[in-house]
């Protein structure tokens, strides 16, 4: 009976926690939608092409805890897994990434915990993205909670590359053949060149538009 009560308590705690993370995601997504609409109103341009939001699966959370040497408990999950709630902003140009990051920093009720700039400093694999870990307040019947959410910002080209990398990592469990890893790194270089050239074209078009 005691084991059943503990199991039920754990299930209830898990459901409550997932409710809070889901609420935090909704708060962030609403903020991003409003910022995008405001930017469109002022500048006649949408920096965000689309938004993806997700809650990490229980299997992924447990795997991450074990990888880092922690027991699979709810307190450890909250303390040591920062990307349980994640939102990804996908934009057209690299300049949009830093523009969005600055807009997020100016949100008074978001607390910025950390930044990982894989645009300026790509991972060895070629991975490029801009990560911000923030806390967002949510308001429940018994008071306020500050919940951690990871925000990733990247271009469409970076998103395409990252989705392929994810498939490769999943397929080979981090031990892909060298020739595949090499091809992936070369593709990352091509993606970077494409982003640079697309940004150049956009800037040139804007200059020409200003002449008329």
Local confidence band at 2 (pLDDT 50, 70, 90 cut-offs): very low
Q: Is 94 exposed, middle or buried (0-12, 13-18, 19+ CB in 10 A)?
A: buried
Q: Cα(86)–Cα(154) distance, rounded to whole angstroms?
A: 14
Q: Which two tokens stand for residue 22?
A: 């889901």
More confident residue, 39 or 170: 39
> Mean pLDDT over residues 22-34, rounded?
95
Beta-strand pair 130-140/143-155: antiparallel
Cα three-residue angle 144-136-120, rounded to 5 degrees: 160
Residue ranges in the chain assigned as alpha helix (H): 2-43, 58-67, 74-80, 94-105, 156-172, 178-211
With beta carbons less than 8 A apart as the criterion, state whether 100 and 89 touch.
Answer: yes
CA-CA distances (angstroms) from residue 169 to 141, 166, 184? 42, 5, 11
Over the stretch 82-99, which tens digit does the pLDDT of each residue have?
Answer: 999 999 999 999 999 999
More confident residue, 169 or 62: 62
The pLDDT of residue 200 is 95
The pLDDT of residue 9 is 56
> Mean pLDDT over residues 68-76, rounded?
91
With beta carbons less than 8 A apart as the criterion, state whether 91 and 49 touch.
Answer: yes
pLDDT at residue 1 greater than cutoff 50 = no
Local confidence band at 49 (pLDDT 50, 70, 90 cut-offs): very high
pLDDT at residue 10 greater than cutoff 90 = no
Q: What is the CA radius of gyration of the chain?
A: 20
Percent of the chain exceeding pLDDT 90 equals 72
The pLDDT of residue 4 is 36
Burial per residue of 21-48, b for 16 or more beta-carbon CB atoms within 10 angstroms, e otherwise: bebbbebbbebbeebbeebeeeeeeebb
Local confidence band at 211 (pLDDT 50, 70, 90 cut-offs): low
Average pLDDT, the chain: 90
Local confidence band at 131 (pLDDT 50, 70, 90 cut-offs): very high
Domains of the chain: 2-156 (3.30.460.10)
Q: Which two tokens stand for residue 199?
A: 């940004």
Q: Cα(164)–Cα(24) distance, rounded to whole angstroms?
A: 28
Residue 70 CA to its chain's centroid (Å)? 23
pLDDT at residue 3 greater than cutoff 60 = no
The pLDDT of residue 173 is 75
């Amino acid at each position: 009976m005691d084991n059943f009560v503990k199991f039920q308590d754990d299930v209830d705690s898990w459901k409550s926690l997932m409710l809070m993370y889901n609420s935090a995601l909704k708060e962030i997504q609403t903020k991003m939608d409003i910022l995008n609409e405001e930017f469109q109103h002022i500048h006649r341009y949408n920096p965000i092409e689309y938004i993806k939001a997700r809650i990490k699966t229980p299997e992924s959370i447990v795997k991450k805890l074990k990888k880092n040497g922690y027991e699979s408990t709810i307190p450890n999950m909250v303390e040591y897994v920062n990307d349980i709630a994640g939102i990804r902003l996908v934009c057209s140009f690299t300049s949009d990434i830093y523009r969005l990051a600055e807009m997020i920093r100016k949100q008074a009720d978001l607390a910025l915990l950390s930044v990982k700039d894989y645009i300026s400093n790509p991972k060895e694999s070629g991975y490029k993205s801009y990560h911000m870990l923030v806390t967002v307040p949510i308001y429940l019947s018994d008071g306020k909670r500050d919940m951690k959410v990871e925000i990733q910002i990247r271009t469409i080209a970076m998103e395409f590359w990252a989705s392929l990398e994810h498939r490769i990592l999943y397929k080979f469990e981090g031990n892909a053949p060298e020739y595949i890893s090499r091809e992936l790194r070369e593709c990352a270089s091509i993606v970077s060149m494409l982003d640079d050239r697309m940004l150049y074209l956009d800037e040139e078009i804007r200059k020409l538009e200003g002449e008329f």
